[in-house]
Amino acid sequence: MNTLRIAVPSPSQWAKGRKFSRRALMFIVAFVTTTPALAQSTNDCRLITDNTTRLACYDTQYGPPLSEPPRAKADEQTLSALERRERSEIELQQDWFALTPYRPNYILPATYLDNADFSPYAEFGDSGKIKDVEAKYQLSVRTLIWPKMFQSNVDAWVAFTLQSYWQVYASDISAPFRETNYEPEFFVSTPLKWDVLGWRLHRLNFGLVHQSNGRSEPLSRSWNRVFGQLTAEQGNAALYAKAWWRIPEDDEDDDNPHIERYMGQGEFGGAYHWGNHTVALIIKNNFRSENKSGVQLDWSFPLTHHLKGYVQLYSGYGENLIDGPNNQNRVGLGLMLTDWL
């Protein structure tokens, strides 16, 4: 007859068994909790399609991301006014074909024109009804179409500027837009880092520009140019020099045979940012013995956090295509939406 025997551990054996069980249990728990992390290698994380899960995988491997060291405000303060504006635009241009300001954008609800010549409108019977007080506004944007062309430091841009003169107070003639100039352009731009007489040469641009008022004869005005522009900066000040050459047209197609005599063959400009105020000066010149120039003076000042007041003075020739041959003076008051600097 077989006898069933049950071995009962001695007290010393029982104590050793308890220690072994605790160690085994601790090993199992540790293995279970660490195995997923060990199994998810860096390559495994990259295979995860869900963004949240993939980020958690990387956090498990390497821990949460280190906070970016705060950029010293002193670094921002060392940038010139022109560099600060350019940095903000570059951030926006990370999206392809994002529109950023080019020239200033503004609205002048009321401008007064002195020594106006409205004779070009005589054929339409409106010249006597056009007011010396009108609105003027400008919208100007650009977009980056080819950054770092051919692996170089040259960027390709397209820009568009619209400047309009609105007879908003001439209700007798249905408040028309008296003159609107459309100016699309293409240009390439490369940064410079040369110091000359305390100024840093900032950018060199070359481009092609068309300007037209979109009208038919006898009010049609248009021309095409190639241009070069050099920009320099120093602290809160920026300067530029721009020269152009008009692309010739056939005599029978040229409705502006001498447009460069009053629209100029180049211009010089400068802006200074002082606190929340900006002053700017633009001088347009034809570089001829029969000198005809146009001068524009701008002053923008703070109104609210995102809005500036704006005063504009213009004196001379070439303010726009149809008024270009006339020596006139204009003063306007309004709002500046985006500034020079």
Instruction: Give the pair of three-digit tokens for residue 150.
Output: 């051919």
Residue bearing tokens 């994002």? 98
Count of Cβ atoms closer than 10 Å to residue 308 Cβ? 21
CB 273 within 8 A of CB 83: no
Whether 273 is a known active-site residue: answer no
| Burial environment of residue 111 by CB neighbours within 10 A (0 to 12, 13 to 18, 19 or more) | buried
- The catalytic position among 127, 212, 220, 293 is 212
Q: Characterize 202-224 residue by residue with b for buried, 16 or more Cβ atoms within 10 angstroms of its Cβ, and e for exposed.
A: bbbbebebebbbebeeebebbbe
Residue bearing tokens 């950018």? 203
SS (H, E, C) 41-100: CHHHHHHCCCHHHHHHHHHHHHCCCCCCCCCCHHHHHHCCHHHHHHHHHHHHCCCCCCCE
Please state, in angstroms and rounded to a whole number, the distance separating the CA atoms of residues 192 and 238: 14
Nearest-CA neighbor of 141 among 80, 173, 98, 83?
98
Please state, in angstroms and rounded to a whole number, the distance separating the CA atoms of residues 135 and 111: 6
- The catalytic position among 127, 189, 210, 277 is 210
| Burial environment of residue 14 by CB neighbours within 10 A (0 to 12, 13 to 18, 19 or more) | exposed
Whether 305 is a known active-site residue: answer no
CB 228 within 8 A of CB 205: yes
Count of Cβ atoms closer than 10 Å to residue 185 Cβ? 19
Close Cβ partners of 189 (under 8 Å, ≥ 6 residues apart): 154, 155, 156, 157, 203, 204, 205
Residues annotated as part of the active site: 210, 212
